[in-house]
Copies of this chain bind each other. A is one copy, B any other.
Amino acid sequence: MNISQAAAVVGIPPKTIRYYEEIGLISSQRAENGYRVYEDRELHMLTFLGRARSLGFTIESCRSLLALYADPNRASANVKDVAESHVAEIDLKIAELKGMRSTLSKLIKSCRGDDMPDCPILNELSRPFNKQG
């Protein structure tokens, strides 16, 4: 199977697959003509990668997960650890975004949004630090 067929099967662009190979996340066999060849093993790993990335795991976390995946002597506790710390990171990001959203919503509500220049949003953003609170 060539790269674009593999790409179609696992839902990852060819460019991205080459990139994953370049950074050593996966490897590939080569045909006589130099083309990359993908079979079951590679397709499994690419599928794994696509799913992990779509769950927001960083490339480095994916590297750890793939190593665990490939290790028949792994402890599932190690996998769970990686997943749990990722959930913790997600929770942090969600909290941060919610904080932003809350502040912004208040500002938006206070702004009439008409054709006049007076704007509480701009006022708040430029308020000197010593008047903050």
Q: Which residues of B contact A112 (CB under 8 A)?
A: 76
* Minimum distance in angstroms from A126 CB to a CB of chain B: 5
Q: Which secondary structure dominates chain A's binding surface?
A: helix
Q: What is the CA–CA distance of A56 and B43 in the complex, to the nearest angstrom?
A: 37
The answer to whether B116 touches A87 (Cβ under 8 A) is no
Question: How many copies are assembled?
Answer: 2
The answer to whether A76 touches B114 (Cβ under 8 A) is yes
CB within 8 Å for A87 and B101 given contacts A125-B48, A129-B9:
yes
* Minimum distance in angstroms from A123 CB to a CB of chain B: 10
Q: What is the CA–CA distance of A126 and B71 in the complex, to the nearest angstrom?
A: 14
Q: Which residues of B contact A47 (CB under 8 A)?
A: 125-129
Q: Which residues of B contact A113 (CB under 8 A)?
A: 76-77, 79-81
Query: A15 at the A/B interface (Cβ < 8 Å)?
Result: no
